[in-house]
Amino acid sequence: MPIIYLSPSTQERNLYVNGGTEEEWMNRLADAMVPYLTASGIRYTRNTPQMTAASSIRQSNQGSYDLHLALHSNAAPEGLYGQKRGIIVFYYPGSQQGKRAATMIVDGLKEIYPLPNDVRAEPSTTIGEVTKPIAPSVFIELGYHDNRDDAAWIKDNIETAARNIVLSLTEYFGTPFLSPVPYREGVVDVNWGNLNLRDKPSVSSYVVTQAPNGARLTVINQYRDWYVVRYEGVVGWAYGDFITLV
């Protein structure tokens, strides 16, 4: 199953023109993304507001992640305060996967941002969370928090942006996008030893773990004949014919 490092801003001193901070609103965005990530079978590790960009990068590099995703909002330079709008998604110029992820996220955000021509992907060799993570990295600047229209758009569209970004992530990873539903319990029901849990809903995809006959699973979601399940802390796709809901 895909796994990302989710890194909302820890910049508590960057104030929104209409109240609140960059740290607060980007963590609200991450909060709203989590149910969609889980529902779609994308695992994540997340930083905390007590961390810094540097400690977030260190934690990311201590793991094995398919994507490092940083969530931020922007501010105009001195002399242009409040005058700029737009979304920039940064990636490292030497990373083809980072560029691919950034382009997909940009294409998605163009559909919901009121000024789609002002949404762009851009390479960067100066942003730490772009240049230093081992994993392919994407750094989203979701509008300008010193601009009243952008700040209002961010606050009014947290849920919409969360859904949109996760949808782009599922397209990047080649997995189905699923909306959150109530969890159910299930039991493995096979006539042989173990049920394969796979990283995608396909019998040819990689087996992440196995669950023995009679094992209890948490069923997170369903896509066609497949379930997203959690077994002993591992999330994977299991063929529905071999699970009995209880």
**Per-residue pLDDT tens over the stretch 89-103:** 999 999 999 999 999
Q: Specify the 3-state DSSP secondary structure of 33.
A: helix
3-173 is classed CATH 3.40.50.720: no
Quote the pTM value.
Answer: 0.95
What residues contact 115, with CB distance under 8 A and at least 6 apart? 85, 86
Three-point CA angle 117, 120, 121, nearest 5°: 165
Range 9-33 average pLDDT: 98
The full set of domain ranges for the chain reads 3-173, 184-245
Name the band, by pLDDT with cuts 50, 70 and 90, for residue 230.
Answer: very high
Q: 24-34, pLDDT tens digit by residue? A: 999 999 999 99
Q: Give the residue-averaged pLDDT of 126-131.
A: 98
At residue 1 the predicted structure's pLDDT band, cuts being 50, 70 and 90, is confident
Tell me the C-alpha to C-alpha distance, in Å, between residue 3 and each of 14, 35, 41, 50.
29, 14, 9, 22
Whether 3-173 shares its CATH topology with 184-245 is answered no
Average pLDDT, the chain: 97
Can you tell me the distance from the alpha carbon of 192 to that of 201, in angstroms, rounded to the nearest whole number? 20
Cα 94 versus chain centre, distance? 22
**What is the structure's pLDDT at 152?**
98
The pLDDT assigned to 35 comes to: 97
Strand partners, 212: 194
- Per-residue pLDDT tens for 159-218? 999 999 999 999 999 999 999 999 999 999 998 889 999 999 999 999 999 999 999 999
Query: What is the CATH architecture of 184-245?
Result: Roll (2.30)
